[in-house]
Amino acid sequence: MHRLLDKGLEQITTMVFKMGEAAEKALAISIGGFVRGKDKSEDVHELSEILVSLTGDVEEKAFELIAKYQPVASDLRIINSHMKIAYDFERYGRYAWDISFICKRLGGLSGCEDWIPQLIEDMGEKVLKMVRVSIDSLKTHNTELAKTISKTEEEVDEMYFQFLDKLVEEAHATSQCTISSVLIVRYLERIADHATYIAEAVVYIATGQKITLR
C-alpha cells in the first residue's frame, strides 16, 4: 500500500532530476562558450536562476513532508540526501554562471598560449563526464557507477595542479588570459568536487553507507 509520504518523495525526486538536467545543460553551454570565446551568459543565467528556484522548492517540499508525515529513518535519509543534492546542482548552476560571466568580461582564451585552451577544454570534458555520471547514477541508484567518479576526480585535481605549476613556470600570456584561465580551472575543480558529493549521496541513498570518494 502506498503511503501519502511516498507521493511526496516522488515529487522531490522529480524536482531533483529536473535540476540535474538543467545543471548539466548550464555547464555544457558555459564551458563550451568559454572555450570558443562565445558569450553565453544570458542563457546560463536563466538556467542558474531556475536552479535557485528549484532548490527552494525542494527544501519547502522536504520540510512539508517532515512536518506532516513524521518520516522514519530511511525516509529521512532520502529527504536529507535530496536536499543536499539539490544544493550541489544549484552550485553547478552558479559555477556555470561564473564561467560565462568571466568569458563575457574578459573575452575567453583569445590571448592565451595554445596549451592553455587545450588544457581547459580537456579538463572541461572530464568535469562534464563527472557531472553526467553523478546524474545518471542518481537516476538509477547505481552505486558502482557512482564510485567510478573517484578516479576522474583525481585526474581533474591533477590537471588543476599541473596547470598552476605550468602557468608559473612557462606561461608568457597576457594578464587577462592568466586571470580568466586561473578562475576557470578553479571553477572546474570545484564542480568536480560537487559531482563527487552527489556520487557519495547516491551510495548513501541506496545503501545507507557513508563513503568518501575524494
Instruction: Return the pLDDT at 197.
Output: 95
Asked whether the predicted pLDDT for residue 117 surpasses 60, the reply is yes
User: pLDDT digit string (tens) for 125-140?
Assistant: 999 999 999 999 999 9
Mean pLDDT of 173-179: 73
Domain residue ranges in the chain: 4-207
C-alpha–C-alpha distance, residues 105 and 118, integer Å: 21
C-alpha–C-alpha distance, residues 138 and 206, integer Å: 9
Mean pLDDT of the chain: 92
Contact 81, 204 (CB under 8 A): yes
pTM tops 0.75:
yes
Q: Which of 9, 17, 46 is nearest to 30 (CA)?
A: 46
Instruction: Return the pLDDT at 210.
Output: 92
CA 18 to chain centre: 14
Contact 21, 93 (CB under 8 A): no
Q: Please give the helix or strand (H or E) that residue 112 lies within, else none.
A: none
pLDDT category, 1, cuts 50, 70, 90? low
Provide the CATH number for the domain formed by 4-207 in this structure: 1.20.58.220
Asked whether the predicted pLDDT for residue 173 surpasses 70, the reply is no
Asked whether the predicted pLDDT for residue 145 surpasses 70, the reply is yes
Instruction: Return the pLDDT at 199.
Output: 96
pLDDT category, 205, cuts 50, 70, 90? very high
Instruction: Return the pLDDT at 42.
Output: 95
Amino acid identity, position 114: D
C-alpha–C-alpha distance, residues 14 and 138, integer Å: 11
Mean pLDDT of 179-194: 92
C-alpha–C-alpha distance, residues 196 and 180, integer Å: 25
Instruction: Return the pLDDT at 198.
Output: 96
